[in-house]
Structure 1
C-alpha cells in the first residue's frame, strides 16, 4: 500500500525518479483539482444563466396568458364596440340640425303655453360661459364633435305646471336638457319663477370639425 504523500515535500525536479504509485497519485490529485475548479466555474456561470432563462420563461408564459385572454375576448370587445357605435349614431340622429334650432325653441314655447306657464324670456347664452368641455389641457386637446347650444329661460307658474313642463321637455323629439335650475317663490301670488339653462346639442359638420382642428393647430404654432 502506498504511503500518504505530503505535497509540500514533493520536488517536481525529482518527480521522474519517484515510483509509479507516487507519480500516479500526484497526477490524479492535480487532475481532480483541475476538474473541481473547472466544474465550479462552469457550473456557477451555467447556474446563473439557467436562472435568467427560467425568469424569461415565466415572463413569456405570463405574456402568452395575457395575449390569450385578449384574443379570447376580441370578438366580445368588437361586439361591444359595434353596440356603442350604434348607440352613438342613434343619439346623433336625435340632435337637431342648425335648421331645426328655431323649431326647437318654438317647441319650448309651446310646452310652456300648454302647461299654463308664462315664458318671460328665452335667449341664447354665450358659448364660452356654458362650454360642455373642461378647461383642462387634456380636454382642450380633444376633438369636439358635438356643440352645446345653451338658452337661458325664465318661466312663471305653479309647482305642478313647472313639473309637467320639465317632463314634457324630456319627451321632445330632439335632445334638450335643463341645467342650472333655480326656483324662486313670488310672495305676492305664491307662484314660482323658474330660471334655467336649456341645453340642446348639435353634431358638428365635417367642415366645422376641420375648422376646429385648424384653429387648434394655429394656436399651438403660435406658442
Structure 2
C-alpha cells in the first residue's frame, strides 16, 4: 500500500478509496463554504432585514391597536366636550339678545335700589373665535345693595364677567358708594363656510 504523501494528483483515479473519499470530502466542504459565502450569506442578511421590518411592523400594529382600543374613551371625552361646548354656547348671547341683556342688568340694579349713571355697550373686540363685548356700568348705591346686584348679575342666564371694578364714597359723610365696572360678555363669531 502506497503512502499518502507519495500520491500524485494526476493519478487520483488509482488512489485508494479512503484517500479519494477524503479528497472528495474536502472538496465538498470547500464548495459548501464557497456556496454559503456566495449565496446563503446574502440570504441571511436579507432575512435579518426582514426580521427588523417584522419587528417594526409589529410595533406599528401594536401602536395602532392601542389607538383603536382607546377610541371609545376618546369618543366619550369628545362627547363630553361637545356637551360642555353646547352648554357654554347657550350661555353666550346672540346679537338680538343684547338689548334684553342690557334691560336685565338695568332691572337687577333697580331691584336692588341702585341708581345708574351709565349703562351701555362698548365697542366689540375681535378675538380668536369670539367677540368680546364690553359693558360699561356706573351706578350709586349702598354697599350691600351693590353686592346683591353683583350676585344677581352672576345668576343671569348669559355670561357677564365683572372686570376693572372701582368704587369710592360719594362723599366722606355718606355711606353711598359710586360703583364703576367694565363688564364683559362674549359672542361666537359666525362660522365662515368655504365655498367650493
TM range (shorter): 0.7 to 0.9
Report 1:37-56 matches (<5 A): 37-56=34-53
Query: Equivalents in 2 of 1:174, 1:195: separation in Å?
Result: 21
Equivalent position SS for 2:113: coil
Query: Equivalents in 1 of 2:75, 2:144: separation in Å?
Result: 46
Shift of 1:171: 0.8
Instruction: Answer whether contact 1:147 1:202 (CA < 8 A) is retained.
Output: yes
Per-residue CA deviations over 1:146-194 (Å, capped at 9, x if unaligned) read: 4332222233344433332222111112222223x23343473465444
- Bigger radius of gyration among the two: 2
Number of residue-to-residue matches in the alignment: 190
Query: Equivalents in 2 of 1:5, 1:28: separation in Å?
Result: 18
Instruction: Answer whether contact 1:148 1:201 (CA < 8 A) is retained.
Output: yes
Partner of residue 108 from structure 1, selected from 105, 112, 120: 105
Shift of 1:5: 5.8
Per-residue CA deviations over 1:75-127 (Å, capped at 9, x if unaligned) read: 33333323332332333333333222111111111222322333222232223
Q: 1:49 to 1:156 in 2, by over 3 A?
A: farther
Q: 1:15 to 1:110 in 2, by over 3 A?
A: same
Indicate the residue corresponding to 2:138 in structure 1. Answer: 154
Question: Do residues 20 (structure 1) and 15 (structure 2) align?
Answer: yes
Query: Equivalents in 2 of 1:2, 1:160: separation in Å?
Result: 130
Indicate the residue corresponding to 1:121 in structure 2. Answer: 118
Question: Do residues 66 (structure 1) and 63 (structure 2) align?
Answer: yes
Query: Equivalents in 2 of 1:190, 1:41: separation in Å?
Result: 104
TM-score, normalised by the number of residues in structure 2: 0.73
Indicate the residue corresponding to 1:210 in structure 2. Answer: 192
Structure 1: gaps spanning 5 or more residues: 134-143, 215-223
Q: 1:113 to 1:45 in 2, by over 3 A?
A: same
Query: Equivalents in 2 of 1:114, 1:169: separation in Å?
Result: 12
Moved over 6 A (4+): none
Indicate the residue corresponding to 1:95 in structure 2. Answer: 92
Query: Equivalents in 2 of 1:121, 1:53: separation in Å?
Result: 78
Report 1:156-175 matches (<5 A): 156-175=140-159
Partner of residue 184 from structure 2, selected from 160, 184, 199: 199
Structure 2: gaps spanning 5 or more residues: none
